[in-house]
Amino acid sequence: MFALKLNPNDKLDVAPVLIVGAGPTGLAAAMSLARAHIPVRLVDRAREPSPYSRAIGIQARTLELFEQHRIVKPFLELGHRARVANLYSNGQRLARLDFDPLQTRYPYLLFLGNLCTTRFQSADVLRFASYRSRRWPAGD
């Protein structure tokens, strides 16, 4: 095993890493690769982001990742923090989730829709990516 150290101004002469899916997970991968000066190519079936959210919230570890990328501030400004959650079914409480004991700077679930999440992530990728394609439908 070896580690490759690059000068921040060096560009790798490699083909772009293909990332399939331009949602929050694909964009997170693109953020990390782009910051490491590794070219990326995002492809997604949809031409535009979905107007519907498929996520309930942002977990503490994801917020820590966003902090490392220095983009956590707009998420915290717009999101709603839930420190405790109760899960019910047919009028009976099934579980209580208490996020306060988490050993993190973000001991909560942050409620924020996918549209905001992908918009902030896309802006970060576009700042750093050496090669990018926000939406390129598969098959085109």
Residues 73 and 105 in one domain: yes
User: What pLDDT was estimated at residue 120?
Assistant: 84
Q: What pLDDT digit, counting tens, does each position of 17-49 carry?
A: 899 988 888 888 988 888 888 888 888 888 777
User: What pLDDT was estimated at residue 73?
Assistant: 95
Q: Which residues contact 89 (CB under 8 A, 6 or more apart)?
A: none
Q: CA-CA distance, 106 to 58, in Å (whole number)?
A: 10
Residues 61 and 105 in one domain: yes
User: What pLDDT was estimated at residue 2?
Assistant: 37
Does residue 88 belong to any structural domain of this protein? yes
Q: CA-CA distance, 43 to 132, in Å (whole number)?
A: 9
Q: How many structural domains comprise the chain?
A: 2
Q: Which segments in the chain show pLDDT lower than 70? A: 1-12, 128-140
Would you give the DSSP letter of residue 16? P
Q: Which residues span the domain enclosing 125?
A: 18-54+114-140
User: What pLDDT was estimated at residue 1?
Assistant: 38
Q: Which two tokens stand for residue 71?
A: 């983009």
Does residue 44 belong to any structural domain of this protein? yes
Does residue 4 belong to any structural domain of this protein? no
pTM of the shown model: 0.74
Does residue 47 belong to any structural domain of this protein? yes
For tokens 């929050």, name the residue: 24
Q: Which two tokens stand for residue 24?
A: 């929050």
